[in-house]
């Protein structure tokens, strides 16, 4: 109990020091799954209050059990921003937001929010209701379907989802809606780009965020909680270089474990970056893990790991048709394992400006070279 009190006290101190305005959440939506905590007489001992009114934001709130909510049509929240606005300040359990199948255009900005992980099991999971938990390889295709004979899917389980070619033939198709499926075939009305073949590697998701010309999709600024994002597709038509444009932006974050898993990124300027709009020189100390993701068609850099203090692992992920695939810069350190992809205009991996890159297995290819490091940086093979 003493250790728990110390952790809570330190978390509360950080919470109040970094932002005196706590999350203006609607407490009743989580009911007895959260409670308020505070240092009543400033003696270093965290006390508990029995009640907390929805208008009282002077006290921090903490989870009391695992929480699971839905986002989308007929869900607990209509937007992902509404869901995050309702988070307790102290995350001692797993809070899961499941996004229902569909297309969304709303954005997320955590700049004014505070959610701090206080236990090993405390984390926030944001996941698609339906997604394929691997990057598959097609065994064939024609004008209206893609086939994978190693599969035994349930009839029409992928209907209304999107298939996304992330490597091989057909990466110019983007995210194509699946009209139906049988045990081994995904049917589409047509391929807007090149017809896939048995070199095509693909992803599937039932959740797509379509941002059109918006600069930033989800922005995790000042973020401090362990977070997992799973199975979500992001699409953008904005290929401008400045200000920084990305589907996911993680600037000035101190999250000890930020994971992006099974997510797809089509076009835009960047898939994700650890520097945000107008934050070009702002430090970050996030620990980032990216696995089984696919990024295609970014106009500058797909996976940008940038700024001192950023440590990242990128594994089993595709980068195709970008300028720079994986871009490591400004004192960051990245480990890569079995990444792939092709047709990146310059380099599959670029490491510069006092940074380090380490890899096992394969890396994405580039038209100039598969990898490049400047004189102040290092890139090479290494064991994990």
Chain segment 319-377, per-residue pLDDT in tens: 999 999 999 998 899 999 999 999 999 999 999 999 999 999 999 999 999 999 998 89
Query: What is the predicted pLDDT for the residue at 252?
Result: 82
Q: For residue 9, name the pLDDT band (cuts at 50, 70, 90).
A: very low
Structural element, H or E, at residue 208: strand 207-210
For the segment 36-50, the average pLDDT, to the nearest whole number, is: 52
Query: According to the model, what pLDDT value does residue 254 have?
Result: 85
Helix (H, G, I), strand (E, B) or coil at 32: helix
Q: What is the pLDDT of residues 111-134, one digit of tens each?
A: 999 889 889 999 999 999 999 999
Where does the chain have alpha helices with state H? 2-18, 80-85
Q: What was the pLDDT predicted at 34?
A: 74
* pTM for this entry: 0.88
pLDDT at 279: 47
- Maximum mean pLDDT: which of 11-20, 140-149, 206-215: 140-149
| Between 237 and 341, the higher pLDDT residue | 341
**What whole-number distance in Å separates Cα of residue 9 and Cα of residue 2?**
10
**pLDDT above 70 (res 46):** no
Q: For residue 188, what pLDDT is reported? A: 98
306 or 72: whose pLDDT is higher?
Answer: 72
Percent of the chain scoring above 90 in pLDDT: 65
Rounded to 5 degrees, φ, ψ at 172 are -85, 5
Give the pLDDT of residue 309. Answer: 74
Peptide bond into 243 cis (omega under 30): yes
Does residue 96 register a pLDDT over 90?
yes
Identify which has the larger pLDDT, 238 or 231: 231
Please say if the pLDDT value at position 184 is more than 60. yes
Task: Tell me the sheet residues that pair with 123.
Answer: 94
Mean pLDDT of 28-52: 55
Quick one: DSSP state of residue 196? P
Question: What are 109's strand-pairing partners?
Answer: 219
Please give the average per-residue pLDDT across 243-269, as a whole number.
88
- Which pLDDT band holds residue 59 (cuts at 50, 70, 90)? low
Residue 206: is its pLDDT beyond 90? Answer: yes
Question: pLDDT value at position 104?
Answer: 96
Angle in degrees, CA 290, 294, 299, rounded to 5: 105
Give yes or no for residue 378 having a pLDDT over 50.
Answer: yes
Residue 277: band (very low, low, confident or very high) from pLDDT cuts 50, 70, 90: very low
**pLDDT for the residue numbered 28:** 36
- Give the ranges where 37-111 is alpha helix by DSSP (H): 80-85
> How high does pLDDT run on average in the chain?
85
Average pLDDT in the 167-183 region? 98
What pLDDT was estimated at residue 49?
46
Please work out, in degrees rounded to the nearest 5, the angle formed at the alpha carbon of residue 211 by the alpha carbons of 205 and 159.
25
In this predicted structure, what is the pLDDT of residue 318?
98
């Amino acid at each position: 109990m003493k250790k728990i009190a110390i952790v809570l006290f330190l978390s509360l101190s950080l919470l109040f020091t970094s932002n005196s305005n706590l999350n203006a959440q609607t407490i009743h939506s989580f009911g007895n799954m959260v409670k308020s905590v505070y240092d009543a007489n400033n003696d270093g001992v965290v006390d508990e209050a029995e009640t907390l009114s929805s208008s009282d934001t002077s006290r921090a709130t903490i989870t009391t059990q695992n929480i699971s909510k839905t986002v989308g049509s007929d869900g607990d929240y209509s937007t992902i921003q509404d869901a995050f606005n309702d988070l307790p300040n102290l995350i001692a359990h797993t809070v899961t937001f499941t996004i229902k199948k569909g297309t969304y255009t709303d954005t997320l900005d955590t700049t004014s929010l505070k959610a701090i992980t206080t236990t090993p099991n405390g984390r926030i999971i944001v996941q698609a209701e339906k997604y394929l938990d691997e990057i598959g390889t097609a065994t064939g295709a024609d004008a209206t379907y893609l086939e994978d004979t190693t599969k035994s899917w349930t009839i029409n389980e992928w209907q209304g989802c999107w298939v996304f070619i992330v490597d091989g033939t057909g990466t110019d198709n983007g995210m194509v809606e699946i009209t139906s499926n049988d045990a081994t075939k995904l049917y589409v009305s047509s391929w807007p780009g090149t017809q896939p073949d048995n070199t095509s590697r693909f992803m599937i998701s039932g959740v797509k965020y379509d941002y059109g010309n918006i600069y930033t999709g989800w922005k995790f600024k000042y973020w401090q909680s362990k977070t997992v994002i799973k199975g979500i597709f992001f699409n953008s038509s904005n290929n401008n270089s400045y200000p920084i444009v990305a589907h996911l932006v993680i600037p000035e974050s101190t999250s000890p474990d930020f994971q992006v898993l099974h997510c797809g990124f089509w076009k835009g300027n960047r898939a994700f970056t650890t520097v945000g709009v107008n934050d070009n020189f702002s430090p970050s100390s996030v620990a980032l893990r990216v696995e089984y993701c696919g990024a295609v068609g970014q106009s500058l850099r797909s996976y940008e790991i940038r700024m001192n203090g950023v440590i990242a692992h990128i594994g089993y992920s595709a980068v195709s048709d970008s300028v720079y695939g994986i871009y490591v810069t400004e004192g960051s350190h990245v480990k890569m394992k079995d990444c792939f992809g092709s047709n990146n205009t310059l380099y599959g991996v670029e490491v510069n400006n006092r940074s380090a890159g380490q890899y096992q297995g394969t890396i994405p290819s580039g038209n100039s070279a598969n990898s490049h490091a400047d004189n102040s940086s290092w890139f090479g093979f290494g064991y994990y």
